[in-house]
Chains A and B, each alone.
Chain A
């Protein structure tokens, strides 16, 4: 534990002030500051507490279903005719996405801290469902803030949350998407500081959230690294994941950051194209700013007002990104590319037909990037992609666009 920090490592961040380079930090109202410091203390203790780690591992194995499989997508590989494609099957987790990894970790922290009420924000509803699930499992009341637009386009998840006993509060401010839900969750938290634990769903927000969410999600990359070494005897050439706030991406990226020969590719929501405002490509088309407790890349105008953004996928519909991604982008360790709505839709259909896996629209963006890259790569090369969620929640959105009667 007393090793001096490895100056050549990309895995040492954040510093004690929660910074990844210039990104991250603790830009919150004074009311929340003592809570964030308490959370940091508790997290520091939990990290090294064998009992906490044992409980996390036990729940991971028996409640979530870890380790998730590493799957060789043989038909997609043959179809594209290039690199071998492996999927980390996070969509097979309990509740259908990677979100549960973080929720189990944070609910254990909430319990340790003696909190009695859980709040969460959600975009696609996957984090809301995962939060409602762990709240049910541990007996906490749970309020989920969700943009009114998202409530409409993710109706199945709203129903699931309600069945699980959570209260879903639609947020009508702004475009009624994830950004607005996060504002409203912060307002709830600042009002109910004594008893409430804010279960943030992505690797963003004030320190220590980006760090602790990453650490709870890094199980994805840690497992995938071992599984691939076992299957192929080597590391992948490229690791690909979709990025909204960026929790599934940082989870699979982080364990590979110090493997110099592994390229890291994050896929942003290009929406209807980067020319106008209808996209969520904050790294490709945004600039550094301060929102929701951290400094990161944001979609904003010349006056520092935050733009709304657009994506077909509610989970990527956020005008910012986790601070560690902002840093990896700035120093060039990871590359971030946009994928348009239409490309994601095509990828969604192709994967469904070729592999019999209906992916969520979020990882469909990553699939689209794989479709672009694999044919240009050699057959001896390997792509590892995080298949972060299943697409059941999206069938109505997709059906509507494709003109199918449901």
Chain B
């Protein structure tokens, strides 16, 4: 596997705090602004970056991320450009792990071998592909692991103890616990329930467990971070970008700055998480 992911989680464990994992849609609203957003994320306190690959039919996403994908596609984003974005980012940052997140069809059409080779060369550390459950591991998961790219799996409330081992079998990097059944951008469920679920997953794996779906504020990040190894924020960032756009949908001066401010606030949340838990 690429070394960046494991090193980052080991360092954070030593530091005694959870990771802040930030998602944004590659190419939203245009390539240049999106690359600036990506560069701003680690500076504002993000520990791991999820780089969204837009897809025309994002079946597990709520309206915010659907619209972000449409903006990106309208702006001319393609899978090749998303890989290029990672390459451009790596020129200035060789430490922050990058996870590509999206749906399988664009990868399938690009060609699995070609995609994996180029992703590795572009500095990608992991993949989250929403519509590839363990039953479909031959498609991309196993080839990715062979090349040394982490395949990060989603576990959900419907993933019971019987199914959990199958979900975890070929998972690496971290486990992404989706805190509710539903689409991205829904309301945050009770942190106490999430703590129980994280404990259940940790009984089955030594991998870090990051929790997402519904985390919008520093307060949420602090509450979730008390039990999880990482807190994933996506829709809140995507909404922040959307709200900064001009009437005709182009980036404004507030686009990158707004993301920076939000991520700094979230970063303060995760940094206070364990302190809050200890009190």
Contacts and interface: CB of A to CB of B under 8 A. Distances in A.
Contact of B158 (A35, A183, A290): A35
Given A300-B105, A304-B107, A191 B131 contact: no
Interface stretch (A24-32, A156-164, A235-243): A24-32
A113 B116 CA distance: 41
A291 B105 contact: yes
Interface in B131-161: 131-136, 153-160
Given A26-B133, A28-B133, A290-B131, A304 B105 contact: yes
A306 B159 contact: no
Interface residues of B, number: 44
B66 A173 contact: yes
Contacts of B163: 33-34
Given A179-B57, A190-B182, A304-B108, A27 B132 contact: yes
Contacts, number: 112
B78 A186 contact: no
B103 to A, nearest CB: 8
A25 B109 contact: no
Nearest to A194: B181
A193 B60 CA distance: 13
A292 interface: yes
Interface size class of A (residues with CB under 8 A): 35 or more
Nearest to B154: A30
Given A190-B182, A191-B183, A289-B105, A31 B158 contact: yes
Given A190-B60, A289-B105, A34 B159 contact: yes
Interface in A29-59: 29-35
Contacts of B178: 30-31
A305 interface: yes
Given A30-B159, A31-B156, A31-B178, A290 B59 contact: no
A404 interface: no
Contact of B153 (A30, A34, A186, A190): A30
A183 B181 contact: no
A306 B183 contact: no
Nearest to A180: B57
B109 A34 contact: no
28 contacts: A27-B136, A28-B131, A28-B133, A29-B59, A29-B156, A30-B153, A30-B156, A33-B158, A33-B163, A183-B59, A187-B61, A187-B62, A190-B60, A191-B182, A191-B183, A191-B186, A193-B181, A194-B181, A290-B104, A290-B105, A292-B57, A292-B59, A300-B105, A302-B109, A304-B79, A304-B108, A306-B56, A306-B105
Question: Which 6 pairs between the two chains have the least Cβ-Cβ distance?
Answer: A304-B109, A304-B106, A191-B182, A305-B56, A31-B156, A304-B105
